[in-house]
């Protein structure tokens, strides 16, 4: 099964092949196309996309790191390829719509951290953050702008000077 998306091609069945180590030092980032095999998912993109931002992929394709390739020239990356298309789109465009589910955002965050895509890491972390509202004006704004159901939890911490510490809000959010 193959699916095309922009400059990316995703394939679910890839036979194993002999590998070799290679370096991309001295290649022209503007015109070179690269074939990537990320955990069995195949992607075809440009050197320009891979080296646009200061990420691990830029290090791989600027000659600072060696990469493994198979006999057909596919560069092998030993990671799950599920979210790699989103990583490429972020590198290409500087923004992507985040997945709907919290679990998928957490998965994307793990991949963004691995590839050192700092802007995407920050976007995922912001989407996963549980807001702590300190005024009724903030509450009304959050409810008005949210496209998801909101749960209001009243947390009275002002009546007991011994029960509140500087990490009380963080500890409450962990439970």
Kind of pairing, strands 2-5 and 41-46?
Answer: unpaired
d(CA 171, CA 42): 42
> For residue 41, is it within any domain?
yes
Report the CATH number that the domain containing residue 47 is assigned in CATH: 3.30.710.10
- Asked whether residue 8 is domain-assigned, the answer is yes
Q: Which segment of 71-80, 109-118, 143-152 scores lowest on mean pLDDT?
A: 143-152
Whether 174 shows a pLDDT value over 70: the answer reads: no
Give the number of other CB atoms < 10 A from CB of residue 74.
Answer: 20
Look at 132 and 9; give whichever has higher pLDDT.
132
Task: Enter the pTM of the model.
Answer: 0.69
- Identify whether 89 is part of a domain: yes
Position 162 in a domain: no
List phi, psi (to 5°) of 115. -85, 0
Q: How many domains does the chain have?
A: 1
- The answer to whether residue 144 sits within a structural domain is no
What band does 160 get if pLDDT is binned at 50, 70 and 90? low
State residue 58's pLDDT score.
94
Distance between alpha carbon 66 and the CA centroid of its chain, in Å? 22
Quote the tokens at residue 119: 């802007």
Predicted pLDDT of residue 65: 84
| pLDDT confidence band for 115 (50 / 70 / 90) | very high
Report d(CA 76, CA 35) in Å as an integer.
9
Q: Which residues pair with 44 in a beta bridge?
A: 35
Q: Which helix (H) or strand (E) holds 44?
A: strand 41-46
In a domain, 52, yes or no: yes
- Identify the CA nearest to 88 among candidates 55, 123, 127, 129: 55
CB 90 within 8 A of CB 117: yes
> Using one digit for the tens of pLDDT, what is the confidence trace for 13-69?
444 456 566 555 544 444 589 999 999 999 999 999 999 999 999 999 888 888 899
Model confidence at 83, pLDDT cuts 50, 70, 90, reads very high
pLDDT beyond 70 at 172: no
- Among 85, 124, 120, CA closest to 106: 124
pLDDT at 80 over 60: yes
- Please indicate, yes or no, if residue 11 is contained in any of the structural domains: yes
pLDDT score, position 87: 98
Q: Identify whether 60 is part of a domain.
A: yes
Structural domain boundaries enclosing 22: 2-94
Q: Per-residue confidence at 157, pLDDT binned at 50, 70, 90? A: low
Distance CA 38, CA 73 (A): 13
pLDDT for res 66: 85
Q: How far apart are CA 164 and CA 14, in angstroms?
A: 56
In the numeric block, which tokens belong to residue 44?
């075809």
Structure tokens at 13: 């069945």
């Amino acid at each position: 099964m193959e699916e095309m998306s922009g400059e990316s091609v995703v394939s679910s069945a890839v036979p194993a092949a002999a590998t070799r180590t290679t370096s991309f030092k001295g290649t022209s980032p503007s015109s070179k196309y690269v074939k990537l095999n990320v955990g069995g998912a195949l992607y075809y993109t440009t050197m320009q996309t891979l080296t646009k931002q200061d990420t691990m992929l830029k290090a791989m394709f600027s000659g600072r790191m060696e990469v493994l390739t198979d006999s057909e020239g596919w560069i092998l990356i030993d990671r799950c390829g599920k979210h790699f298309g989103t990583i490429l789109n972020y590198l290409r465009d500087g923004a992507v719509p985040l997945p709907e589910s919290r679990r998928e955002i957490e998965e994307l965050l793990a991949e963004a951290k691995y590839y050192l895509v700092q802007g995407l890491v920050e976007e995922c972390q912001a989407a996963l953050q549980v807001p702590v509202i300190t005024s009724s004006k903030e509450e009304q704004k959050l409810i008005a702008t949210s496209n998801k159901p909101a749960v209001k939890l009243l947390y009275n911490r002002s009546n007991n000077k011994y029960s509140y510490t500087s990490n009380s809000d963080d500890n409450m959010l962990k439970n």
